[in-house]
Amino acid sequence: MNKQLALMLAGGILSAGVLAAYAAEGKPEDTVKYRQSVYNIIGWNFKPMGAMAKGEMPFDAAAVARHAQYVEMMSKALPEGFAKGTGPDAVKNTEAKAEIWTKPAEFDTKLKDFQQEAAKLTEVAKGGDEKTIKAQIGKTAETCKACHKEFRKD
Ligand code: HEC
């Protein structure tokens, strides 16, 4: 195997773990603030989509397309919000459970599931088909719940 390829493969393995890729930068409190802000933007944009999927709000394909883009973008901004040393042992004002850092592979999977479904939502939102879009909003919401259940304090 040539040296460059070996290096590329090694790099691939290292970057496979979303959490492992980020070292703590600055104060842990700042990282916590960052990730909570990202979740707030996610929550803000997801809420109307959830209401539309449940029929509590009139369906608006253009609004979904816009909200979905923000959720997808924010899903990609999350990993660096979980740098090492920013868990409940280091910071007070966090709902994040210590398991995020003791079971990083499982957390990674939950994060990737969310990123995948959020990206798919942006995709189907462009198509404009109400039934497909509502189903995908539901699928994405499942990934929020799955992660909160295991990794967020209630
Ligand atoms: C991979 C795990 C994971 C996924 C997926 C996830 N969350 Fe969360 N969420 C968390 C954790 C952990 C916290 C607690 C963060 C903290 O307090 O440090 C949180 C916090 C929040 C908060 C509170 C933010 C605040 O003000 O402190 C909201 C709102 C939220 N999530 C909404 C959502 C929505 C909506 C989705 C799906 C569209 C989602 N989350 C997907 C793990 C996740």
Give me the CATH number covering residue 109: 1.20.120.10
Position 3 confidence tier, pLDDT thresholds 50, 70, 90? low
Structurally, how many domains does the chain consist of? 1
Alpha carbon distances (Å) from 54 to 40, 45, 90, 138, 139:
21, 15, 39, 9, 13
Residue 50 lies in a domain: yes
Q: How far is the CA of 38 from the centre of ligand 1 (A)?
A: 8
- The reply to whether 3 falls in a domain is no
Å from CA of 129 to ligand 1 middle = 28
How open is the CA angle 94-114-123, to the nearest 5 degrees?
140
Q: What is the pLDDT of residues 74-113, one digit of tens each?
A: 999 999 999 999 999 999 999 999 999 999 999 999 999 9
The pair of structure tokens assigned to 55 is: 């029929």
Probe ligand 1: pick from 148, 151, 153, max atoms within 8 Å of CB? 148
Q: Is 14 contained in some domain? A: no
Residues of the domain holding 117: 27-82+97-151
Domain presence at residue 88: no
Ligand 1 cavity residues, CB under 6 Å: 32, 35-36, 39-40, 42-43, 46, 71, 94-96, 107, 110-111, 114, 140, 143-144, 147-148, 151-152
In a domain, 56, yes or no: yes
142 contact partners, CB below 8 Å, separation of at least 6: 117
d(CA 27, CA 15): 23
Closest ligand 1 atom to residue 93 Cα is 17
pLDDT digits (tens, 9 = 90+) for 31-58: 999 999 999 999 999 999 999 999 999 9
Number of other CB atoms surrounding residue 138 within 10 Å: 14
Q: Which atom of ligand 1 is nearest to the CA of 107?
A: 1
State the burial class of residue 62 (Cβ atoms within 10 Å of its Cβ: 0-12, 13-18, 19+).
exposed
CB-based contacts of 151, cutoff 8 Å, min separation 6 = 96, 97, 99, 100, 107, 110
